[in-house]
Amino acid sequence: MAGCCCLHLVELVLFAAAFLCGAVAAVELTWTQGSFNGDCPLYGVAVRNGSSLVLCPSAPSVCHFVAGTSGLLALFCLLLLLVWAYCCYTQKFYSSVWLSISLAISSFLILVCACILRFGTISLCNSIVSLKLTVSCSEAQKIPWTPRGSTVQFYSNLHNAEMSSWVNLVLCMVLMLQVMKCSMCERASSYDLPEPDQWSLP
């Protein structure tokens, strides 16, 4: 039974890490969108305006979906963290079926967000490099944009958001395996031998 408790403690750490990754992804993307005056840079196109760059943004709903989904999943992981902490304290754990289904759905949504961040950033970077002003998207952070003072670290922020999403996906998959392992551990511990006095004949 002590082994099961250790497994549940590992789950607490994983839930906390998943919450942080989701929060980082949502904050980094929201920060980047704000630096573009609310325009979404994912799948956007950069055009020249003299010696500076101007963003032709994609639909704002693209960034809203990724940031909103990442933020909601972060809150969901925080809720699970609090519930699991209470369960560890009371030693009463709920069925793992609903948790496994929730983690599977969360993993799918995180995968979608990570892919949007990945290919959306690549699309933006390709449009920047095609202008022949720089050889990489990270170097484009040194080029002035219109309006001035914005988008200083846009590529770093998008890269951090993407990496956080991929790490979050791995954490959710590990959590699903961990939940199944804990479930098997608890089932095994429920098959204890009866007490010796129950074996005595009347």
pTM: 0.83
Which of 54-63 are b and which e, b meaning 16 or more Cβ less than 10 Å from the residue's Cβ? Answer: ebebbeeebb
CA distance 56 to 40: 9
Domain count, the chain: 1
200: helix, strand or coil: coil
pLDDT at 2: 43
In a domain, 192, yes or no: no
CA distance 16 to 59: 32
In a domain, 58, yes or no: yes
pLDDT at 201: 44
The predicted-structure confidence for 86-99, as pLDDT tens digits, reads as follows: 777 776 665 667 88
Each of the 202 residues of the chain gets a pLDDT tens digit; together they read 444 455 667 888 889 999 999 999 999 999 999 888 889 999 999 998 877 888 899 999 999 999 999 999 999 999 988 887 877 777 666 566 788 888 899 999 999 999 999 999 999 999 999 988 888 888 888 888 876 655 568 899 999 999 999 999 999 999 888 877 766 665 555 555 454 444 444 4
In DSSP terms, which residues pair with 46 in a beta bridge? 55
- Judged on CB neighbours under 10 Å (0-12, 13-18, 19+), 177 is exposed
Are the CB atoms for 103 and 76 separated by under 8 Å?
no
Which of 8-46 are b and which e, b meaning 16 or more Cβ less than 10 Å from the residue's Cβ? Answer: beebbebbbbbbbbbbbbbbbbbbbbebbeebbbbbbbb
Please choose, from the candidates 65, 68, 45, the residue with its C-alpha nearest in 3D space to the C-alpha of residue 57.
Answer: 45
In a domain, 71, yes or no: yes
pLDDT at 94: 59
CA distance 82 to 80: 5
In a domain, 198, yes or no: no
Cis previous bond, 147, omega within 30: yes
Residue-range definition of the domain harbouring residue 121 = 2-187
In a domain, 50, yes or no: yes
In DSSP terms, which residues pair with 49 in a beta bridge? 52
In a domain, 202, yes or no: no
Q: How big is the chain by its Cα radius of gyration, in Å?
A: 23
